Amino acid sequence: MNKPVFSQLNPPQRLLMGPGPINADPRVLRAMSAPLIGQYDPAMTAYMNEVMMLYRSVFRTSNDWTLLVDGTSRAGIEAILVSAIRPGDKVLVPVFGRFGHLLCEIARRCQAEVHTIETPWGTVFTPDQIEEAIKRVRPTMLLTVHGDTSTTMRQPLEELGAICRRYGVLFYTDATATLGGNPLETDAWGLDAVSAGMQKCLGGSAGTSPITLSEQMADSITRRRHVEEGIRDNRHQDGDEPIISSNYFDLAMIMDYWGSERLNHHTEATSALYGARECARLIVQEGVEAGIARHQLHGAALRAGVEAMGLEVFGDPRHKMNNVLGINIPDGLHDQQIRECMLNDFGIEIGTSFGPLKGKMWRIGTMGYNARKDCVLQTLAALEATLNRYGFKTVQGAGMEAAWNSYAN
């Protein structure tokens, strides 16, 4: 049998303007290719400490426990949920898109009693609606999505921390799609846990998930700490806190690994840590607020251009994420045909949708390294050409002009 021959990697050049992943900043990819060092090398533990400091700035927090979970963004979500939720705990999930359903799904696997409130896709909740549900359900945790890319909506979180405090509820948000591109104030908003991912506004490559835990959340988790030896010997007693059902996602252990004790847990995903450090370093260098303003600027220009082309934007405009735009697909146009033309002829990827919006909406992202004028203008020009080709007539040049004007204002 002949061995199949596999050639060197040679991925096509793409401009990734979907809801993520986006093109990683080349500086991040270079950092990821730095030589490895040992897990307990003083240089490595110094980098781990720097990662903690840098992500405190990005998350806007003074939380000690600000660290990485090795896996994609949903690894960070699951680590927080499986470590914090005790079987039988009530949790409340306000669902305004697909990723709210994901939180429900993971919480159910953690044996939570899951309560939801729902709102039509394209809208978000008022603080009153959430307080009302908290009063009714009396959950131990409120699980929110900050920005749900499935609908492009951003749930206001500013007032929820105070509400949670009043009812003794721990407050979590999934900021995978928002961190770095939208305001997020972990401490000022009273968040007890936040998780994120690398492949959106942070400008990196998926593979490790930054999280931050308030002191109260960390205490709640470390009360469930079991040393490996105890579990091995079945020494945990009735009456103890229930064991965390995952080893890999046991944040009590992961805190002991990132903390001063440096107890061995997993082998660090060193290249991913290098990448995460570089992402945060670049953000801190630019300034967290400046980075958010950049996402706002380019998101607004994209939107201005799209609307001037005669396309309609999806969802409540008061609650849009800065970094993803939903476009209602006009009658007579075929979702996939347009996207394939964009990808195959221009090398530009835009996103489709799923669930109730499948085939009805495109999603265009402007985030991380791709929150840039050239990316926005290239995408608009290609989109206009493609739409015209397939029969959707625009006023020639109106989209581009609106985008230029948006930049000029």
Are 57 and 290 a contacting pair, CB within 8 Å? no
Distance CA 176, CA 195 (A): 6
Residues 188-227 touching a copy of itself, rule: CB under 8 A, are 197, 199, 205-208
Q: Which is nearer to a copy of itself, 22 or 382 (CB)?
A: 22
Length of the chain: 409
Locate 408 and state its tokens: 């000029």
Residues 169-188 touching a copy of itself, rule: CB under 8 A, are none
Question: Is residue 363 part of an annotated ligand binding site?
Answer: yes
Residues 297-326 touching a copy of itself, rule: CB under 8 A, are none
Q: Which is nearer to a copy of itself, 126 or 247 (CB)?
A: 247
Residues 69-88 touching a copy of itself, rule: CB under 8 A, are 70-75, 78, 82
Q: Which of 156, 159, 222, 243 binds a copy of itself (CB under 8 A)?
A: 243
Residues 116-145 touching a copy of itself, rule: CB under 8 A, are none
Question: Which burial class, exposed, middle or buried, applies to 242 when counting CB atoms under 10 A from its CB (0-12, 13-18, 19+)?
Answer: middle
Q: Which is nearer to a copy of itself, 6 or 332 (CB)?
A: 6
Q: Which is nearer to a copy of itself, 237 or 267 (CB)?
A: 267
Name every residue whose Cβ is closer than 8 Å to that of residue 30 and which is 6 or more positions away in sequence: 278
Q: Which of 132, 158, 219, 228 binds a copy of itself (CB under 8 A)?
A: 228
Q: Where does this chain touch a copy of itself (CB under 8 A) — which range of 241-249, 312-320, 329-337, 377-385?
A: 241-249
Residues 87-116 touching a copy of itself, rule: CB under 8 A, are 101-102, 104-106, 108-111, 114
Residues 330-389 touching a copy of itself, rule: CB under 8 A, are 343, 349, 354
Distance CA 289, CA 291 (A): 5
Min CB(225)–a copy of itself separation in Å: 13
- Quick one: CA torsion of 153, 159, 161, 166, rounded to 10 degrees? -140
Q: Which is nearer to a copy of itself, 128 or 289 (CB)?
A: 289
Min CB(166)–a copy of itself separation in Å: 29
Phi, psi angles (nearest 5°) of residue 95: -100, 115
Residue type, 8: Q
Are 324 and 365 a contacting pair, CB within 8 Å? yes
164 touches a copy of itself (CB under 8 A) = no
Q: Which of 29, 293, 381, 400 binds a copy of itself (CB under 8 A)?
A: 29
18 touches a copy of itself (CB under 8 A) = yes
Give the other-Cβ count within 10 Å of 265's Cβ: 18
Q: How far is the first Cα of the chain from the last one, in angstroms, to the nearest whole number?
A: 66
Min CB(176)–a copy of itself separation in Å: 9
Name every residue whose Cβ is closer than 8 Å to that of residue 87 and which is 6 or more positions away in sequence: 110, 111, 112, 242
69, containing H or E segment? strand 65-70
Q: Which is nearer to a copy of itself, 105 or 215 (CB)?
A: 105
Q: Helices then strands (H, E): number in the chain?
A: 14, 14
13 touches a copy of itself (CB under 8 A) = yes
- One character per residue 252-291, x = contact with a copy of itself (rule: CB under 8 A): ------------x-xxxxxxx-xx-xx--x--x-------
Q: Binding-site residue total for a copy of itself (CB under 8 A)?
A: 89
Report CA Rg, the chain.
Answer: 22
Min CB(362)–a copy of itself separation in Å: 14
C-alpha 230, offset from chain centre: 35
Q: Which is nearer to a copy of itself, 68 or 142 (CB)?
A: 68
Q: Which is nearer to a copy of itself, 310 or 356 (CB)?
A: 356
Tell me how far CA of residue 212 lies from CA of 51, 220, 304, in angstroms.
Answer: 12, 14, 35
221, containing H or E segment? helix 215-222
- Cross-strand partners of 144: 173
Residue type, 219: D
Q: Which of 2, 35, 239, 260 binds a copy of itself (CB under 8 A)?
A: 35
Binding residues for substrate: 363
